[in-house]
Amino acid sequence: MVFLHPLADFIDCNSPVSNPSPNYYYEGYCPQSANLLRLPRTSLVEAIAQSLMQQLAKDERYCQEGKMYGVLLVELPTGEQRILKAFSGLLNGLSVVDGWVPPIPGREEVALEEAQTLAQLETIKQELINLQQLPQRQEYQTRSHEFSQQLQQMRDRHRHCKHQRQEQRQQICATLTGVALTIALEQLDQESRQQGIEQKLLKREQNEVLQPLVQVITAADTRILELKQQRKQLSRQLQTQMHAAYSLMNFYGQSRSLQQLIPSGLPTGTGDCCAPKLLQYAAIHNLQPLSMAEFWWGSQSAAGDKIPGRFYGACAERCQPLMGFLLSGLRHISEPLSPYPQAASEEGGKCRFFKTTREMGQGRQGRQGGQETEETLSIIYEDEWLIAVNKPPGLLSVPGRYFDTQDSVVSRLRNLLPDGMSLNAVHRLDQDTSGILLLARVDAERLVPRHRQTYCQLSRQFQQQQVHKVYEALISGIITVDQGVIELPLWGNPNNRPYQQVNWQYGKPSITHFQVIAREGNYTRVEFKPLTGRTHQIRVHAADIKGLGNPILGDRLYENSTKANRLHLHARELYFQHPHLGETLHFQTKTPF
């Protein structure tokens, strides 16, 4: 069976690629070295994928069922380039299809158990349907409605009769006396009692008719709960068997089962996605991956989050947790690259990568933890519109209100700029946080329109979460979870500024992605990617019990005591679109701790 396809099957190899820069990166941390590993999605592999889409469009088998497809550009030991293609899950009920990469080894080992379990699950499904569609349910609804109507009509009639009896009593008491009055009142009382008996008899009849139906329905509901629990246990059992059987190999030649890689468990279907299939096959057959792309084809997904013909990255639940292991041992991908995976995934243009380039003059001496420190400000990038600096800890981003808080990044830079030039900080970093700070330059005298637009456009990118920030921190204590998302509403108590706290009533939404880089003794090195930019967001998300439950080392505000001489939080990377050059800029600094 042929799995390696020549490029000529998809593209004209003589046609130049318009944009060789990667548009996305599949990435993960090596479990052994903790290095960030990346595999790009380039314009070339996207062109190959689009050609595959055109081929799929000609065959109805691929247009009915919506699913993810993927292509991997690989290099053979001879230096030739070939294409691998894969589909997620099953294709028209088949796991092995001619021309497509086969499933990850292990599925056949549990094929019998899987078939038996799926048959049991199907039996449970049919029984659940039958129990939910019991004729007694409809009969109960119908008879219950009928009795309710009868009771309501009876109550209305009795209420009218009661009103008439009250009028009759008044008239009788005014016209009759003695025995005649007693007999007349007794007749009215008897009529009232009779109507009460009539209502009780109807209720008794209602109970006699509905009670057997209720018993049947209650028994059915109890059975439904049992079946759902049984179905859940069977699904978990099958998932555990499959995760234990599925064996992945990386480019070091190491093999691990899914269960070994993620002991805490993974969603059903993990291992059946395109990316693991493609990388697994390449690793086994000594093929060097060059770039990869995944896309959705067929009908739109049921949830509406997948659109046919659109490219997507590694799925967060099934693929991303495996990516670090799968990429381990792959040559030439451990160096920091750009652009940021999502920053330019749907945008054209170039991306430029910058590290710290030069240092500017020394500032005043600051005091941290009782020791004198020299605060050095490094310029990473500058042009006529903006400046990016590497802010040291202990230095304000912008000047404060008082005389002793005037020293800041902005005030220092203003002393270096030409006359008439001003600066606006597009965002802020806490005084104790180090790292990349972005500032917009403004020609205050000439009021050049493009200068005015710089600050507005950059601010808009921050507000619309189009700027991607990467922080690195050292956490006090051991974090047992390798990665996840923290979503906690933050609120600043006006009586205790600048302290922030989690408040579900008044707090503003805040979201932070985190991933453990390494565990170092009693500390954990963590990478944070905040999607929102609340005050002290990462610090609170780390310290709060509903977040990581462990404060950042040196955080004097959210940690009761610390012996560290600084807050171990660093704004390491920044990705954004230049407002005038049409390029994606990627700034990166070395973490100083």
Check: CB of residue 250 under 8 Å from CB of residue 329: yes
Instruction: Output the CA angle 394-398-399, nearest 5 degrees.
Output: 90
Quote the tokens at residue 218: 């209650």
DSSP state of 430: -
Structure tokens at 22: 């990667």
Instruction: Please tell me which residue in 156, 221, 430, 432 is annotated as part of the active site.
Output: 430
Tell me how many degrees the CA angle 324-262-573 measures, rounded to the nearest 5.
Answer: 35
Q: How many separate helices (H) and strands (E) can be counted in the chain?
A: 11, 25
Which amino acid, one-letter code, is at 488? L
Q: How many CB atoms lie within 10 A of CB 373?
A: 15
- List, in sequence order, every residue forming a beta bridge with 29; answer none if it has no partner: 36
430 as an active site residue: the answer is yes
CA atoms of 508 and 499, how far apart (whole Å): 14
543 in Cβ contact with 552 (< 8 Å): yes
Place of tokens 């749907």: 346
Buried b (16+ CB within 10 A) or exposed e, 507-544: beebbbebbbbeeeeebbbbbbbbeeebbbbbbbbbbb
Q: Per-residue b/e over 464-494, b at no fewer than 16 CB within 10 Å? A: eeebbbbbbbbbbeebeeebeebebebebee
Q: Residue type for 569, please? A: L
Are the C-beta atoms of 533 and 427 separated by less than 8 Å? yes
* Euclidean distance between CA atoms 283 and 326, whole angstroms: 8
User: What positions carry a catalytic annotation?
Assistant: 430
